[in-house]
Amino acid sequence: MTTPYKAISQLGARVRKSITNLGAFMRLAGAILARSGAALSRARLVTQQIHFIGNHSLLIIAVSGLFVGFVLGLQGYYTLSRYGSEEALGLLVALSLTRELGPVVTALLFAGRAGTSLTAEIGLMKAGEQLAAMEVMAVDPIRRVLVPRFWGGLIAMPVLAAVFSMVGVIGGWVVGVQLIGIDPGAFWSQMQEGVDVINDILNGFIKSVVFGLAVTLVALHAGWTARATPEGVSRATTRTVVHSSLLVLGLDFVMTALMFG
């Protein structure tokens, strides 16, 4: 039974701990960015990480994009047909995907798939004392382990988001034109008139870059600060998913307000 005094001091300790964690996170991010020269001098490591992070996520991203496109086509048709604007389905699907769903859903899936694998890998390296061994050999673990993974994640994320949006548009086309029977000419021409390359596609691309930055940094930090036990690693992976999902949704709101508000 905690007295009110204890409860308040516990609350204060929690707040202080979160702010301290935020500071440690920023410091690690700064250290990774400062040593990013390693990404250029040892590009082989970066391409390996792009392969692990990006190529292996391609299947889940593409399949999710396809199904999201299908659902957008069906749900969009249901609402648009009430106003007689079924032919705007292409516009609806493309705008929803390139502006919002592409970057955000890809980021959430990325956090779940690639973020957790990054965190688990680094946490297990820490648990197996590999990071300590590197330091003993005078190899900077940040430069050797974290920097390639950071750049791998940062490069892979926008690529995955673009693939998601493209597959989603194709999925919307399959449902709208092939299954429901909307006129294909109207489908594509309304989309092409309404989707702006700079305002919509480029803004979606910028969003995906920012999300990639956020998710990768959170994943790396969670792995780096994991307790060197199996339970510690599992907690760290949970932290990765929860924190990066919340961060992605919060950043999405801020960026949408800035870009489109």
Partner 1 sequence: MTRDKTDFWVGLFVLLGAIALVFLALRAGNMSSFTFTPTYTVHASFENLGGLKVRAPVKSSGVVVGRVSGISFDNERFQAIVSMEIESKYAFPTDSSVSILTSGLLGEQYIGITPGGEDKMLAAGNTIQYTQSAVVLEELISKFLYSSAGSQEKP
Would you tell me which residues interact with partner 1 (CB under 8 A)? 44, 47-48, 50-51, 54-55, 58, 94, 98, 155-156, 158-160, 162-163, 165-167, 169, 188, 191-197, 200-201, 205
Alpha-carbon dihedral 148, 157, 166, 61, rounded to 10 degrees: 90
The smaller minimum CB distance to partner 1, of residues 98 and 245, is found at: 98
Single-letter code of the amino acid located at 151: W
Least Å from the CB of residue 248 to partner 1: 19
The smaller minimum CB distance to partner 1, of residues 31 and 205, is found at: 205
Q: What is the full DSSP assignment across 76-136?
A: HHHHHGGGT-GGGHHHHHHHIIIIIIHHHHHHHHHIIIIIHHHHHHHHHHHHTTHHHHHHH
The smaller minimum CB distance to partner 1, of residues 155 and 251, is found at: 155
The smaller minimum CB distance to partner 1, of residues 68 and 222, is found at: 68
Q: How far is CA 116 from CA 63, 122, 174, 197, 216, in A?
A: 20, 10, 33, 33, 10
Least Å from the CB of residue 201 to partner 1: 5
Q: What is the full DSSP assignment across 160-185?
A: HHHHHHHHHHHHHHIIIIIII---HH
The smaller minimum CB distance to partner 1, of residues 160 and 226, is found at: 160
List all residues 6 or more positions away from 158 whose beta carbon is below 8 Å from its beta carbon: 205, 208, 209, 212
The smaller minimum CB distance to partner 1, of residues 31 and 206, is found at: 206
- In angstroms, rounded to a whole number, what is the distance separating the alpha carbons of residues 202 and 199? 6
> Closest by alpha carbon to 64, among 29, 104, 35?
104
Least Å from the CB of residue 164 to partner 1: 8
The smaller minimum CB distance to partner 1, of residues 131 and 167, is found at: 167
Least Å from the CB of residue 143 to partner 1: 20
Least Å from the CB of residue 36 to partner 1: 18
Least Å from the CB of residue 170 to partner 1: 9
Least Å from the CB of residue 187 to partner 1: 11
